[in-house]
Amino acid sequence: MKFTSDTLDPRTPVVVGVGQSSERPDGPGYRRLSPVELAVQAAHEALADTGADAGVVASAIDTVAGVRQFEISTPGARPPLGASDNYPRSVARRIGADPVRAILEVVGGQAPQHLVNEMAARIAGGEVHAVLLFGSEAISTVQALAESEGRPDFTERVGGQLEDRGWGLKGLITSNQASHGLTDAPSQYALFENARRARLGLSPKQYAHTMGELFAPFTEVAAKNPHSAAPVRRSAEELLAVTERNRLIADPYTRYVVARDKVNQGAAVLLTSVATARRLGVPQDRWVFLHGHADLRERDLMERADLSRSPAAVMAAEHALEIAGITPADLATLDLYSCFPIAVSNVADGLGLAADDPRGLTLTGGLPFFGGAGNNYSMHAIAETVHRARTSPGTFGLVGANGGALSKYSAGVYSTTPTPWRPDRSADLQAQIDSWDGPSEARRADGWATIETYTVKHGSDGSRSGVVIGRLEANDHRFLARTHADDEEMLHLLTTGEPIGRRVYVRSFGFGNRVTTDEERMNALAPRRDHVLRDDYEFVTVRREGHLLEITIDRPDQRNSLHPRANDELDQVFDAYFADPDLWVAILTGAGDKAFCAGNDLKYSASGKPLWMPKNGFAGLTSRRNMTKPVIAAVNGYAMGGGCEIALACHLVVADETATFALSEVKVGLVAAAGGLVRLPRAVPRKIATEMILTGRQVTADEALGLGLVNRVVPAGTAVEGARALAAQILDGSPTSVRVSLGVMAETEGVADTVSAVDAPSAALDELLVSQDALEGMTAFAQKRRPVWKNR
């Protein structure tokens, strides 16, 4: 059925205005515009583009939505030149709009097209009538002026209603990726790129040529675009030739083929209902309709079955075309998000588009050349698509917007041809994507493996480090690993021939997985340490007396809080304790009389230095699986956060009367992830545990005794003496019996039925029956003498 503007539902959404703005520090008329001012300039262009009275149109805007700048896209980021506390309303105020609703969208390059899709649906539903979308970046200005004496101050205090949707980073950055140096976009995309290269059976040199051939036409478009950040034509060879200016970033990428973030750019799109467009006097030759739309999300990185593809992105583009009732052949224009070559080739492959498609795959010139305007690039692509649609009425244009690491994809199909609003089925498709099978992940990987994909990161100082995703031979679990520092042998493997499919060796450490060529090389690079006590620990002191080991956390000025090196030393000490047959009981305490342990060293954590924890957990205890000999916590003072978790991990706790226990993580925006969330509800009534966890409530020593958190409360300053007395009682018994008792308790902890637990076979019990201690104990009893234990 053919529709006209007169037969459409008055609530049908329509794009009525688009605008762009830009400036370059080295260009004429440079005004050092802030992100707000760049967005305002683009918004004025969009208002003027409607062909109606700009003031009247601005006053009709009931909703504004801003795309987040890069400088406010990550936790803890602080804009160097300041920023508005309400970016959308800062822009609205300057153009004479007083919207009911202001939105700050989540992070991701999909944001502009997603906002168009979402707000068009809201207009069709009658919720809103006129929506202004915009985004902007002033990264070039910030980088050029942040350290200058006359730097501008972009700080604004606007206030007012704001729907801040947060960062939206869930699943995009994980602690595991961060510990393996996989937080930057080039490294993540390089993994996909190399996987695709191997799937296509191309050598690195051949594949580099295809990337150059893909992006060379983009530079031609960028060279003609007045808003381009880098309007320079470059050949395929020039794009990939490694030079001082075009250095390697992450194999296979040189600087020229990755998104260019040094831009000062803004763009805006104005959407209204057909009825509102008529009321405002917007001429119908300005109207552009959204014929198709879709928003989908790919599985998270390590869950994807095939790292050489992003089928969700292809599905989004295909679904948008399906709703529009057209095929790729019917498109007159395309703009495929181009932060990296694979973002383009992935969708082009899926839609059957060639790299040299005569229509071109970009309207702007692409992110590496036009500029990757933060999360807002596709607002520019939409603006260009709308202009082209008006120039050639009745034609169709596709915008594909990508976010994350080939993670989120929003697509839109535009045309001047009138069309009713058509809902999409993205939710159904997303449920399908979420149901796809994916590989199991090994966070801690050990043994022989094969490389699934890889990259080598190149620092500006000439340093190199490799990142590998592989599969363990033992169970086919996928893992993430880095190369050891200065492992030239492994780096040679990753930069010569075809690394994918090669056999390598991986080992897990507290700081992450490391991969190298074979087990012998691994042992040379990371010799296994001997489990023996030393006398030169920096953050811990040890005292050995007979069969008793006393361990003291020696950081009293930091309330015995722990950082990675202190944790590692404790891990080494406990390794030695559990390995030494002549040590039967251990006592752990803290130096001074103020704190047993105040948990994580938060000052260190906030310093930006690498954060990691031993494989055996906080203090080398909270994740230790085989605690075969007793550990007594002598709590003197505060046991806060991680300190409380250490106490919970110990077999026994002696507290002096000044001791205080708390899982205080919620007070600093963290959670008790080192066992507190698991152990506390098993140690005390669940309601009490929940209250302590959710409020950080402090529990005194006497309360802890009543709850069963501690075994004994002793006078102030005598926690260690109390622990020694308890240790002496344990040492009076058979160490073999103590060890076996702990083992059987651990074996049966998860068995719900008591009789089944009692009857469960145990190799430890069999061992005890033939032990020297069992014979000695019975013989000594019969002879009415004290036994002499052998611990075997």
Active-site residue set:
645, 665
- The CA distances from residue 155 to 80, 404, 563, in Å, are 10, 28, 36
* Token pair of 329 as six digits: 């052949």
Q: How many helices (H) and strands (E) does the chain have?
A: 27, 27
Closest CA to 136 of 188, 192, 88: 88
- The CA distances from residue 779 to 119, 735, 739, in Å, are 85, 16, 20
Closest CA to 715 of 730, 702, 704: 702
Residue 334 sits at φ, ψ, to 5 deg, of -140, 145
| Residue 124: partners with Cβ closer than 8 Å, 6 or more residues away | 9, 11, 12, 13, 273, 421
Provide the greatest CA pair distance for the chain. Answer: 110
Q: In what order do the strands lie in the sheet with 163-164?
A: 13-22, 264-273, 130-138, 63-66, 101-104, 163-164
* Token pair of 123 as six digits: 């207009």
Closest CA to 559 of 586, 597, 615, 585: 597
d(CA 43, CA 659): 61
- The CA distances from residue 529 to 568, 611, 622, 788, in Å, are 12, 21, 21, 33
d(CA 209, CA 232): 19
| Residue 175: partners with Cβ closer than 8 Å, 6 or more residues away | none
d(CA 241, CA 245): 10
Q: From its phi and psi, is residue 579 left (phi > 0), alpha (psi between -120 and 50) or beta?
A: alpha
d(CA 35, CA 28): 19
d(CA 651, CA 396): 70
For the purposes of burial, counting CB atoms within 10 Å of the CB of 792, is it exposed (0-12), middle (13-18) or buried (19 or more)?
Answer: exposed
Q: What percentage of the chain's residues is helix, strand, coil (to nearest 5)?
A: 40, 20, 40
- Cβ–Cβ under 8 Å, residues 620 and 649: no
d(CA 166, CA 408): 16
Q: What is 673-688 written as a DSSP string?
A: TTTHHHHHHHHS-HHH
d(CA 144, CA 151): 9
d(CA 94, CA 689): 52
d(CA 187, CA 184): 6
Alpha helices by DSSP H, listed for 78-184, are: 87-94, 111-124, 139-145, 175-179
**3-state DSSP assignment of residue 353:** coil
> What is the chain's length?
792
